[in-house]
Structure formats: structure tokens, C-alpha cells
Amino acid sequence: MAVLVSGYINDLSAVKENITLRVRVLRSWTQVIFNKPHVKNLEMILMDENNTKMQATCRMANVNQFKHKLVEGAAVKLERYSLGEIQPKYRMVNNALRLSFLSNTLCEPCTDFTGSMYGFDFRDYKSITDLQMEEDGQFDVIGHVTACQDLDNYDKNGNKGKKKPLSLIDAEGNELNCTLWGVFAQQFNDFLEATVDHGKIMIVLSLAMMKSWDGKMCVQNGYQGTKMWLFNAAQPIEQTEFKEVEKYRLRLFSRDDAEPSENTASRISAGSKFSTKDDFLNKYPVKNIVELLDVEKNIASVIVGTIIAIQEEEGWWYLGCRKCSKKVVKESEFVDLDDDSKGKMSVTSDQWRCTKCNEIVKGIKSIFRLQVRVQDESGIMSLSLFNDEVQSLTGRSAYQLCEKYGLKSADQQVFPKEITELVGKRLAFKVSIDEYNQKKMLPVFTVLRLSADVDILSALTSSVMPMKEGEATSSKCVGISALDLESQTDETVTPTNVLKSTATSPPTKTSSGKRPSDDGPSTECSKTKRQIVDIKMEKNP
């Protein structure tokens, strides 16, 4: 008979189960078994006094026997358990063994446990962003939140959810993109609303997971097990269980190149966007195109129309700053009219300058900007679609399309079929216009959000006031006049030969609730010579 001996998780093996373990329950949750919705096991992450972690399972038949002892934070002593192997894709921690509770497993409180409360093991940002492929497993992340977007209450294909994209920076100045989903997104937004100073917000994600987005490695909360803490790092963190976080806070804000907190606070949004259906049906006035041309600047409205042409001379992508998404230009050709210096002494051939930030950028990305002509029964107008909107329609990022068609320079504006196939799509658009675009001979409205949801389109169509008798309708048009499209030609426009009315355009079955995109360069077009990319383009996170 095997004799029980005290030991640690690293002492366990397939042939060595006679070890008395002293562990803390880091996480516990109920998990439904795939294809067996009636089976609900208790899953856990356990940690010993050396901060080594492993997964554990208590089958449904034994849950009531142990669940009161296996609450999060509790330290227990375990004997007489079983060990199994976890397949790599199901491993949440770096341990192939899973501990299973048996009906005769001994589980007693461990009052003299000497391990930490959370066992943080923060992963270096570079070890994440330098990867080309996703790794299995989950890990801890800490950082300073330098920017975030509105809370997105999306409603896609009938599935509702919440999304909050963040930008993080570590103590070495490395950047990492992070997306919070569901309750984590709401928790972060609630913290922002309760916090006055947004300049020094720190986040700790325990058991986060990595996700490749647009070829760039990012992090997000996991499907199970993730826990998040948020701190106002303007004040010391005094709780003893967060001593590792306090040490990191001191390192983080002692950097010489740390950004002023007021600059960071300006990029933190505590706003919340409505769901797609609410946004289109209840929050903004529904108009036809003729009415829309008379609205004031920066006033959002909703229209329903069909894309009948793509204005190809405006291009479909550009090179943008990774921080603000504005256009970048070669530093060697950048002209600052306010700079009295005669020249730049340290300019290199691979440096790019952001036209908004007015600084050398650390990375660039390919970004969608597409200008289209949209028609309803009252008329035709020009709309600008930016990165999120075009990506939702094509199902591809600008980077992916550039890679697919071998486009290495921003002056290569060959239009892929993923773009040209947008002609004929009938969509709902939430739009507005700024002062600059309002003054153009043919005003260009910016698309803030769009949807192809059949129910939304049907409701909006019925809500639009019918045209008065005698008013012209676009269904009578059979072509695009030279005045409508300025100096466009067959070579620079991708129209349908005969304009399609909104009644005959086939609706699609998808919907997209997207956040407003950052404005791209309003003056960029194919007539302006674009710069050739000499450096590897970074992918849009």
C-alpha cells in the first residue's frame, strides 16, 4: 500500500498520486459538458505554495459533496484523487495533468497555507506580440490603460453582447491591444463611470488568452476562468494580496518617457453605444436622401439605400498611424509649415510621420476608406465608409486584402472583387456630415454605423414618409449624370449599368453594429501620388 507523502503539484505524475497536496482554489465555475447539457461539472484552477497551477474537475455526482469547501480563495488539503491528461487545446495552464475528485477524496481546510492569494505571473508583452501563431493556454497580464473606445452593445444576427477595445502599455513602454467581452466590458465601463481620474488606470487580467486579429497578436478575457481587477494607480495600492501589482505600479509610472496622464485621459471613453436595433429604430430620425441633404452638420440621421457605384478615384485603402488611424507620409517628404528649421538631420528612408500626431510613428497599418454612391427613391448621395464598416461588409481587413492581391504600395488601388461586390447591396446607414464635407460641391456624409438586418430594413422602410406626388424619384433614373459624379468616368467608377431601386435590391441576412471609425484623410485620392511602403506593414489590431 502506497504511503501518503507531502508534496507539490510538480511532484505529481501519472504513476505518483500518493501525494498530499496543499492548494488554494484560484478559480471555480460550473461548466456544461458539450452535447450533454444536463451534465454540469465543477471546474477549478488550483495553486500550490510554489505558485504552480493545475486544472481540477469535480464531476456532477460529487459536486454537492465538495462545493462548499471549494470556494474561490479557500486553501485545502487534498488526498486520494485521480490524475488524468488534458489535451493541449483544452489546457488553461501550463500543466498537462488534471486532478479529478473522487467520492472518497479527502478535502479538508488548510489553515497554515503559506502561498500567495492570486499567484500572479505576468507575461511579458513582447512574448505575446512577437508570436506569429496563437498559443494554447491562459496567462496573467498587467498594464496601464492608455486608450479605450466606447462600450459597444452590439446586436449581430440576433446575438447580443458587449465589447470594449483597450490599448495597454507595460513598464518597458511596449504596447498591447486588449478586448474585453461581455461582463468584463461592462465591469470596465462601470469602473470608468465611478472614477474621476482616467489618466492612470491599471488593469490586471488573470488567466487571459491570446487572440490573433488582423495578423497582430492581442489579448482578451478567456471563455472561462478569467478574473479582472482595475485600479486607480494615482494612489498607492495598499492591499497585501496585491503587493506584486503595487511594485509594478511604481515601475510603470517611474519611466522617463511615461505619457502625461492628461493625454491618456483624453483617449479614455466611458461612453456606451446603443444596440444596433435601438440605434437605427429608436434613437435617430429616419430620413430619405433628399431630406438628409438639408440637415445640419454633426447631426446623426438614418437612411436606407442601395450602393449603386464605387467612386474609385477616391481609392479604398491608405496607410495610417497605428495610434490614431490618420494618414502617414514619408518623413523625408513631410513639410511642417510652422517649422523654421532648414532641414532634418536624422531622417531615414523607413521613417513615417503621422499627419495628425505630427510625430514619427512606431508602426503603420493599412486602413479602409471607401467612398460610394447610395440611392433611395428620392435621390443619390455620396457616403464615406471607414475601416470597421468596410471590414464588416467584406469579412476581410484591409491588410488581408492587400496581402491577398499583392498590394505593397498605397498608390496601388486595384479594386478587389470583395469591394466591387458591394455594389447592389441594400443597407441601413447611420450618417452625419462635418463642416468640411458640408462645404463641398457634392456633400459627402460619413457612415457611423450600418446594418443589413432584414428586420431593421423592413421597419425603417415602412417608417420613411412616402414621397409627395410630383416629386422625382430615383427609380426613374437610368444613369448617373456627369454632374452627379463630377468628372468620374467608366474607368474610375464601378456602377451598375442601370441604377437599381431599393425595392429590387436583394437584402442580405447579416447585420453589423459597429462603432464610429476614426476619420481617414479626407483629401486622399488616386490623383495624389502615394508613397511606396519600404517597411513591413503592421496589421490592424
- Is the pLDDT at 453 greater than 50? The verdict is yes
pLDDT at 333 (0 to 100): 58
Alpha-carbon distance of 142 to 152, in angstroms, equals 23
Alpha-carbon distance of 93 to 116, in angstroms, equals 17
Does 335 fall in a domain?
A: no
- In contact, 515 and 150? CB cutoff 8 Å: yes
> Are both 194 and 296 inside the same structural domain?
no
Residues 327-342: tens digit of each pLDDT:
888 876 554 444 444 4
> Are both 165 and 205 inside the same structural domain?
yes
> Are both 423 and 312 inside the same structural domain?
yes
- Partners of 139 in beta bridges: 208
Strands, E, within 376-410: which ranges?
A: 380-386
pLDDT at 132 (0 to 100): 82
- Is the pLDDT at 490 greater than 60? The verdict is no
Of 209, 237, 271, the one marking the end of a domain is 271
> Are both 222 and 80 inside the same structural domain?
no
Q: What percent of the chain has pLDDT over 70?
A: 77
> Are both 143 and 175 inside the same structural domain?
yes
- Partners of 32 in beta bridges: 40
Strands, E, within 316-415: which ranges?
A: 317-321, 328-330, 352-354, 364-375, 380-386
> Are both 135 and 93 inside the same structural domain?
no
- Is the pLDDT at 537 greater than 50? The verdict is no
Does 539 fall in a domain?
A: no
Does 328 fall in a domain?
A: no
Q: For residue 233, what are the contacts with CB-CB under 8 A and spacing of at least 6? A: 144, 200, 201, 202, 249, 252, 253
pLDDT at 443 (0 to 100): 86
Q: How confident is the model at residue 158 (pLDDT cuts 50, 70, 90)?
A: low
> Are both 431 and 305 inside the same structural domain?
yes
Residues 368-391: tens digit of each pLDDT:
999 999 999 999 999 999 988 898
Does 488 fall in a domain?
A: no
Q: How confident is the model at residue 409 (pLDDT cuts 50, 70, 90)?
A: confident
User: What is the span of the domain harbouring residue 280?
Assistant: 276-316+369-476
The domain tally of the chain equals: 3
> Are both 251 and 303 inside the same structural domain?
no
Does 491 fall in a domain?
A: no
> Are both 189 and 234 inside the same structural domain?
yes
Average pLDDT of the segment spanning 426-447: 88
Does 494 fall in a domain?
A: no
Q: What is the pTM of this model?
A: 0.56
Does 205 fall in a domain?
A: yes
- Partners of 221 in beta bridges: 208
pLDDT at 464 (0 to 100): 66
> Are both 78 and 208 inside the same structural domain?
no
Average pLDDT of the segment spanning 226-252: 94
Alpha-carbon distance of 298 to 66, in angstroms, equals 59
Of 433, 451, 476, the one marking the end of a domain is 476
Which is more confident, 262 or 267? 267
Does 393 fall in a domain?
A: yes
